[in-house]
Amino acid sequence: MFLIGIVPLLSSCGYNTMVQKEEAIAAQWAQVQSVYQRRADLIPNLVNTVKGYAEFEKSTLTQVTEARSKATSINIDPNKLDEASLKKFQAAQDELKGALSRLLVVVEQYPQLKANQNFLELQAQLEGTENRIAVERMKFNDLTRDYNAYIRKFPQVIVARLFGFREKPYFEAATGAEKAPEVKF
């Protein structure tokens, strides 16, 4: 008898909507990881193409390879996504992005490499992937904002606390991103 009375109460309190919104965040998190994986998959081809040009700085290639290894070793279960784990994931991805940037700066010293069709295609794919990463992170943040706002509203806040629904973290800009890079000619 008690159960019959509580089922309609739970169905109108937003529990199902919370589950649906949390699942949407998990699906979007998988998409975010997918585009980061795409970037990681492009890197060995890029590194091998660059290695073909003899005098290249080995330390830069090593940094890229190590940063890729670190970035791909961090896997986060979307159900355990919290601020600390997201920051750790984001820091590893930012380190990889920095290593790739250094690689592309050093490449500027090798005109033959810059003219290599394979390298140009990989560079274009990498740029496209960076754009995809930005789009998927934005979608993740939009879904997270919607979910976080929903579980903080009344009466959902009561049900959220009762069933353990917690706020999810957002992707944030890397430290120092608010400063424009200095360009020297």
Domain boundaries, the chain: 44-152
pLDDT band at 151 (very low <50, low <70, confident <90, very high): very high
Which of the four pLDDT bands, split at 50, 70 and 90, describes residue 7? low
Task: Tell me what pLDDT residue 22 has.
Answer: 94
- Identify the residue with better confidence: 185 or 10: 10
More confident residue, 102 or 136: 136
Q: What is the pTM of this model?
A: 0.78
Q: What is the mean pLDDT of residues 86-91?
A: 90
Q: Rounded mean pLDDT of the chain?
A: 83
Q: Which residues contact 127 (CB under 8 A, 6 or more apart)?
A: none
CA 15 to each of CA 69, 110, 142, 158, 168: distance values in angstroms, whole numbers, following the listed order? 39, 59, 20, 10, 16
Q: What is the mean pLDDT of residues 31-52?
A: 86
Mean pLDDT lowest among 16-20, 51-55, 154-158: 51-55
Q: What are phi and psi of 178, to 5 degrees?
A: -75, -15
Alpha helices in 52-110 (DSSP H): 58-73, 83-107
Q: What is the DSSP string of 13-51?
A: TTHHHHHHHHHHHHHHHHHHHHHHHHHHHHHHHHHHHHH
pLDDT at 23: 95
Per-residue pLDDT averaged across 22-45, rounded? 92
